[in-house]
Structures are given as structure tokens and as C-alpha cells.
Chains A and B, each alone.
Chain A
Amino acid sequence: QQQVKQSPQSLIVQKGGIPIINCAYENTAFDYFPWYQQFPGKGPALLIAIRPDVSEKKEGRFTISFNKSAKQFSLHIMDSQPGDSATYFCAASKSADKLIFGTGTRLQVFP
């Protein structure tokens, strides 16, 4: 019940494409869903986060869609750029509790 399932494991898109990464959770007590971006040799960096009372949140080219009834949330990257090539992690937590991370999606954006 503590797992967060993330897919796909890897994704290749061309510049300008819209990669979509999906995550699913079981624990309905989770109330905070962040996405992190990680470049090689660096720590995860917070991209955007959502709470379950909101169905969508946009920050720049990044959008989170949240479906509470399906217990799923996804990250969309609009007009993707080669600089977006990184590993993306979804996560979930309950209040101030630990973050439960998905297994990560390695995104490659080709020019």
C-alpha cells in the first residue's frame, strides 16, 4: 500500500513533443504529490507538486494532472527541449511523512 508505481521506465521524444509520465498509488491517505527532476551527478530537484483537492496544476511547461478517484497522477512536459533530458521521479507522502518515490522515468529529448 506504500508503493507508487511509475511508468514508463524510459521515454524518447523529439524536440517539441509532449512526453507524459504516469504514476499510480494505493494509499488514499497520501495528500501531497511532488515531481522531481534529476540530472546525472545531481540530487533530485523539485519541479512541481499537487494536492488532491486540485485536478490540474501548471508551472511553465510542466503540468500535473491528478485523478483522485483513479488514484493516478501524471506529468506532461509541453514543448519539450533537449535540456529536459533527465530522470523524472514522482512521489507521494502523507502530511510531513517520508516521500515514497516511484522508480523513475529516464527521458531523452532529441533535437
Chain B
Amino acid sequence: DSGVTQTPKHLITATGQRVTLRCSPRSGDLSVYWYQQSLDQGLQFLIQYYNGEERAKGNILERFSAQQFPDLHSELNLSSLELGDSALYFCASSVGGGVNQPQHFGDGTRLSIL
């Protein structure tokens, strides 16, 4: 058990809809990362937050947004969903703070767009 909790485990919705994925980091971790895992693109970094502030941005679409709350949990919002957004979405957390610290992953949310 990595200590990172993601909910829900599975999400099935339709094109055009909006969903919110939630992540609770490990106790004491200040950084949260979001990754997308698809068969054709592999594991792709989306966005990182550190202590409530956006720290780094990767291949995140404009239809996607994220935030980290004062209690350090994070949410990834996906809107105007397309078939191609079907993927596994992982959250990872680390101590953060500007040095390399191991990132620990949750078990992901599987998003299926019908």
C-alpha cells in the first residue's frame, strides 16, 4: 500500500461530460503529481502541485484542470470529454520541496468514455 488514495476506482461516462478525480497524498507529502496512462501514449505527466501551488505542467489539455486544496488533497477535473480521454489516471505524491524525492503512486482511476 503506497499510502496514496485515489477515488473513484472506475468511472464510466459519456462524451461531452465532466468528471472530477480525487487524490489524497501520503501523510506528510506536499507534492502531488497527475499522470495519464494510455496504451498508445504510455505514462504521461500532466501536472504537479506543491503545497497548493502549481509547480510544473506537462502534456495537459486545456479541457483539463487541477487544484490542490489546503488539506493537500488534489482534484483533477476533466471536461468536454472525448473518446480519446479514456485512460488510467494516476496520482503520485512526494515530500517535494525542490529536491528529488521518490514519487509514490496510487492505484489509479480508470476512466471509460462511451
Contacts and interface: CB of A to CB of B under 8 A. Distances in A.
Given A36-B105, A43-B2, 18 more contacts: A34-B102, A43-B105, A43-B107, A44-B43, A44-B90, A45-B2, A93-B100, A95-B100, A96-B50, A96-B98, A96-B100, A98-B45, A98-B48, A98-B58, A99-B33, A99-B103, A101-B43, A101-B44
Question: Which 6 A-B pairs rank lowest in CB-CB distance, beginning with the nearest?
Answer: A43-B105, A98-B45, A101-B43, A32-B100, A43-B107, A44-B105
Contacts of A99: 33, 35, 43, 45, 103
Given A96-B31, A101-B42, A104-B42, A31 B100 contact: yes
Given A96-B31, A98-B58, A45 B105 contact: yes
B99 interface: yes
Nearest to A39: B107
Interface residues of A, number: 24
A47 B2 CA distance: 12
A34 B100 CA distance: 10
Interface string B82-98: 00000000101010111
B107 A98 contact: no
A45 to B, nearest CB: 7
Contacts of B107: 41-43
A45 B4 CA distance: 11
B101 interface: yes
Interface in A1-53: 31-32, 34, 36, 41-46, 49, 51
Nearest to A4: B42
22 contacts: A42-B107, A43-B4, A43-B108, A44-B43, A44-B105, A45-B2, A45-B105, A46-B102, A46-B103, A95-B99, A95-B100, A96-B50, A96-B97, A96-B100, A96-B101, A98-B48, A98-B56, A99-B35, A99-B43, A99-B45, A100-B45, A102-B42
B18 interface: no
Interface of A: 31-32, 34, 36, 41-46, 49, 51, 89, 93, 95-104
